[in-house]
Structure 1
Amino acid sequence: MTEIKSTQAIPASGPSRPLANTAEMALKLLQPMQGLLIAGESAEAEVISIKEALQNFQLTLRLTLNNGRQATIETSSPKAAVPGAAMMVTALSDTRLIAALQPGNRQPQSSIDLGQLPVGTVVQGKVTASQQTQQDGKNLFKVVITLLNSPLAGHKLNVESAMPLAPGSLITARVQGDQSLSFMPLSGRLDQLVLGQQLTAQHNRQGSLEGLLGALGSGSGLPEQLRGAAERLLGLVPDMQQLGDTKTLAQALARSGVFLESSLLSGQASNLPADMKAALLRLIAQLPGLPGSGPLAAAQAGATLGQALPAFARSALGALGQPNARHLAQNFPLPSRLPPNVGDEADLELILKLAAAAVSRLQTHQLSSLAQTQTGPDGTQVTTWQIEVPMRDQREIVPLQVKLQREEETQHSHKEKPETLWKVELAFDVAPLGPLQVQAQLLQGSLSSQIWAERSGTAQLIAAELDHLRQRLVTAGLNVGELACRQGTPPQGPRTSLDQRFVDETA
């Protein structure tokens, strides 16, 4: 998010001339209503703008008639009214109205209720009224925003801003701790839209890395220029037993390919020979050109997404509230995905398809990490890394999927020392145990974990070894909370990374 301008909520202050109160006020139309309301009919109205004249005030009202039709009228009043004020008007004649303010909860609020909109909450709204004033020789705009999301959807917020906001504008802003809003520019919203679209595209193209590695391991008829790149790629795959060493595991995670672009930006070119994504790209570069395909096919397909941005922009605000991209990003682990003919003799065309799919799988993990890195409604900073490391299990190559998440409280929290919560998820499928998923969280040196096994025999075996696991964790210097093993898979469905807890310590 890029901060444009802090917009302060309007403080309560008395105007130089009296405001309208709950008592009725007489309005004179500057132009006849031309049949909008007949004598005795009523309609809801909202003050769009107000202009001070010599002897009275000119109010622009937006009427909402009983049939749902809206119309704008210009009126004259001896009393002022706050922009955004909600009224009930009744026609006395074709040129005269009587108006009364609606109940207080229909009126614009002059402060932000941090209980219902905590610091960090992203709100979306529509500018329904605006008025330009002068303060200390500078232009100041008093703006009314109707909230479109959050628990206060439909409520109005009365704010003042140093920049103009035209009525009808759609805005996205983040609630700050000093009763202000920090606007998110359209470019930031489009970045999120592009991220969601790229994530969807990469997810549709991705394929399991073990399919390519298996094809390269069994392909004895590879061309000479391809054989060296294939051997270097296969040499990066560690044995499963080696990953029991913390240093080896850390190196495997760092070389998984998700940090390639970060290494290039920081100038760490020495890490490239051992990076999985760099090795995949070298392999693709060594493949000879094939009819109808090429090493840059995946990149060219992704580049065409940018041409659709004008259509995305029209629904920028609405798309931010849709769960599709986030739900896709939070699917963990990614399922195994192999083409139907992967078991056949691997030719160059199949290897190219498998390599392009493997690159897309790595990019899916990268984009998923970006999509889940966010600031929560309470200001908590969440950073996510989603990684896949292939490992050798005897003669087979199986993937180890890892998801690391760090949640850091901000300095605005009421605690003396902000806490950092670490969450780790592991997913792998090794014989004879079958599919396993591990969920753990670490907070202030205390570790809790749940293990999910799809096979009943595996679940019973792990449950019998939990005491031994607890002893090893205690020996490592950790305070161990709950350790549990269940048969099945973790519950899936929409969730947020901030309110999900793997273990309920109070249950």
Structure 2
Amino acid sequence: MSGEINILPLPQTTPTATRPMVVSGDLLKLLTPMDGLISAGQTASAEVLSLKQADQSFQLLLKVTLDNGRQTTVQATSLQPLPQGTSLAITQPSAGNLAITVQQAIASSVAALTRIDTAQLPVGTLLQGKVLTSQVMPQVPGQPAVFRSLVTLLNTALSGSTLNIDSPQPLRIGTLLSALVQDTQTLKFLPLSTRQDQLAVTQQLNTQQSRQGSLDSLLTALQNLPQSDDTSDDLRAAVNKLLAGLPDVQQLSTPKGLAQALLSSGVFLETKLLAGQTPALAPDMKADLLKLIAQLTPGLPANTTLGAIIAANTLAQSMPSFIRSALGMLSQVSSKPLPTGFPLPERLMQGAEGESDLEQLLKLAAAAVSRLQSHQLSSLEQTGLTDDGRLLSTWQLEIPMRNLQDIVPLQVKFQREEAPEKEQAPERRDEREPKQQLWRVELAFDLEPLGPLQVQAQLIQGNLSSQLWAERPYTAQLIENNLGALRERLLASGLNVGDIDCHLGTPPQGAQTRLEQRWVDETA
């Protein structure tokens, strides 16, 4: 989404408990051996001037101060990350090594912050930092993977300090992060949306939308794929896997089936890859499309036009890395961007005269990947802070579903708004109420004999309201006649139901299209 998109609920990171980072006897290996740097039996002080990660080790630039006051700089490697500014007491057991003495165990644990002083950084403070290191920790059986990082702070009174954090996802070295202080042990990262990055997302979105084509065009062509010598067993297997993963209306009518369809829609492929999951273990629309493209390319005739192949390879190689970067690496936060149009319009790809069946399939598959990526980029574009400080997260996707012999694309958009936290007295911070969340859901599909339908609904604290639009008068009247039964079923499920209305036509377009809900302080 992000991904990946990653686009899902934003991860939280928790600083590790206070502990010594280095123990007595740890060795620092000098990159250039220096015989006699520190005399036998003598101790020197050193300060870490810079830290750089290299695979599983860390390169340090040290300023060493000898007993006679002479200073020199040396480069060394360490198996432990020592933050910039760390003071060390060292000896030299051999020409190529330095040893940290026992007195350093306490000092080094202070060099990296392992908790947040909320007196200096109150809850809600925006922190900005840069990732210095990233390590995967030994995994406990049955527990998710943990990644440990050092992040140097770039703002607030603690600018220049280093924060020691654990996170459920790896943080890329050199990445700029923005996070809100939740409590002494918890940060909440904010989504990517600097002006520069937002421009990059918008440019990529425009490119993808110009390439995209409707999913049902490809899927219908795959259903009617003729048996021929050009159809290899591997290609046929890729087609069968893609078609077998399509849900039907009955599956989408159950909570479990709907959840599985959302996870398999392709919008979360990059997020799964970032988390170390293998797409082969579970169906994923985007992964299956990329496998299909890989099987189509070798079977094309030698005189085929290269345009479709180049477009497909560009999608398969460059775009996942772009979205992976955008979904996985969180950065600055700007104001909420203008909403992208929903739903994506139907778009048919025109075939060229003389193209083979495989050439046409490759074009349709590349267009289908572009359509999925248009949804992913739309999610990124609509994620950020609203003008009044609420955090808006968006997940937009498309699920091709079976309806008898037809394939009907179901477009879905989820939006979550979190109200800003109220200021509370320090003694009440641990007892604060959870933040209110407003959820919006939009659906768009064309299901015979009902015709095109769109649904907008919002949910806050168990209160639901909804608007429906039907383009056919018969369908609008049918829905209107059954709104009472729908209300009763919603009430029976435990919801408080507000307005539910049906309209003939389509939702109005523009800045005021969505249902408006104000955050109300009922105690005011």
Partner of 1:453: 470
Partner of 1:171: none
* Aligned mate of 1:334, from 327, 337, 344: 344
Secondary structure at the aligned position of 2:306 is classed as: coil
Residue identity matched to 2:478: L
Tell whether the 8 Å contact from 1:429 to 1:436 is kept in structure 2 after alignment. yes
Partner of 2:448: 431
Higher relative contact order (CA 8 A, sep 6+): 2
- Relative to structure 1, is the Cα distance of residues 413 and 488 closer, same or farther in structure 2, using a 3 angstrom cutoff? farther
Establish whether residue 262 from structure 1 lines up as the match of residue 276 from structure 2: no
Secondary structure at the aligned position of 1:274 is classed as: coil
* Aligned mate of 1:384, from 394, 399, 404: 394
* Aligned mate of 2:214, from 208, 219, 222: 208
Shift of 1:394: 1.1
Structure 1 segment 359-378 matched on structure 2, within 5 A: 359-378=369-388
Residue identity matched to 1:239: D
Structure 1 segment 62-461 matched on structure 2, within 5 A: 188-221=194-227, 223-224=231-232, 225-269=234-278, 272-287=281-296, 288=298, 289=300, 290-293=304-307, 295-298=309-312, 300=314, 326-327=337-338, 330-341=340-351, 347-412=357-422, 417-461=434-478
Tell whether the 8 Å contact from 1:439 to 1:502 is kept in structure 2 after alignment. no
Inter-partner Cα distance in structure 2 for 1:233 and 1:505:
43
Residue identity matched to 1:401: Q
Tell whether the 8 Å contact from 2:385 to 2:391 is kept in structure 1 after alignment. yes
Establish whether residue 488 from structure 1 lines up as the match of residue 498 from structure 2: no
Inter-partner Cα distance in structure 1 for 2:435 and 2:367:
42
Secondary structure at the aligned position of 2:194 is classed as: helix
Inter-partner Cα distance in structure 1 for 2:340 and 2:293:
29
Shift of 1:339: 1.9
Residue identity matched to 1:215: A
Tell whether the 8 Å contact from 2:265 to 2:286 is kept in structure 1 after alignment. yes
Inter-partner Cα distance in structure 1 for 2:478 and 2:404:
22
Tell whether the 8 Å contact from 1:206 to 1:357 is kept in structure 2 after alignment. yes
Partner of 1:312: none
Tell whether the 8 Å contact from 1:219 to 1:346 is kept in structure 2 after alignment. no
Tell whether the 8 Å contact from 1:120 to 1:378 is kept in structure 2 after alignment. no
For residues 257-283 of structure 1, the C-alpha deviation after alignment (integer angstroms, 9 at most, x for no partner) is 000000011011156540010000000
Alpha-carbon RMSD across the aligned residues, in angstroms, is: 3.7
Q: Where has structure 1 moved over 6 Å in runs of 4 or more?
A: 301-305, 342-346, 503-506
Residue identity matched to 2:211: R
- Relative to structure 1, is the Cα distance of residues 345 and 273 closer, same or farther in structure 2, using a 3 angstrom cutoff? farther
For residues 298-353 of structure 1, the C-alpha deviation after alignment (integer angstroms, 9 at most, x for no partner) is 45379999xxxxxxxxxxxxxx99x9xx55x5210001111245999970111000
Shift of 1:505: 12
Partner of 2:105: none
Residue identity matched to 1:269: T
Structure 1 segment 40-79 matched on structure 2, within 5 A: none
Shift of 1:393: 1.1
Inter-partner Cα distance in structure 2 for 1:465 and 1:203:
37
Inter-partner Cα distance in structure 2 for 1:480 and 1:243:
23
Secondary structure at the aligned position of 2:248 is classed as: coil
Tell whether the 8 Å contact from 1:450 to 1:502 is kept in structure 2 after alignment. no
Shift of 1:429: 0.4
Range with greater deviation from structure 2 (236-245 or 256-265): 236-245
Secondary structure at the aligned position of 2:498 is classed as: strand
Tell whether the 8 Å contact from 2:420 to 2:435 is kept in structure 1 after alignment. yes
> Aligned residues: percent identity?
53
* Aligned mate of 2:494, from 464, 469, 477: 477
Q: How many pairs align?
A: 311
Shift of 1:293: 3.6
For residues 149-187 of structure 1, the C-alpha deviation after alignment (integer angstroms, 9 at most, x for no partner) is xxxxxxxxxxxxx99xxxxxxxxxx9x99xxxxxx9x99
Inter-partner Cα distance in structure 1 for 2:239 and 2:208:
23
Range with greater deviation from structure 2 (482-491 or 411-420): 411-420
For residues 80-118 of structure 1, the C-alpha deviation after alignment (integer angstroms, 9 at most, x for no partner) is xxxxxxxxxxxxxxxxxxxxxxxxxxxxxxxxxxxxxxx
Secondary structure at the aligned position of 1:435 is classed as: strand
Secondary structure at the aligned position of 1:401 is classed as: strand
Secondary structure at the aligned position of 1:237 is classed as: coil
| Length-normalised TM-score, structure 2 | 0.54
For residues 24-57 of structure 1, the C-alpha deviation after alignment (integer angstroms, 9 at most, x for no partner) is xxxxxxxxxxxxxxxxxxxxxxxxxxxxxxxxxx
Inter-partner Cα distance in structure 2 for 1:482 and 1:350:
47
- Relative to structure 1, is the Cα distance of residues 284 and 302 closer, same or farther in structure 2, using a 3 angstrom cutoff? closer
| Length-normalised TM-score, structure 1 | 0.55
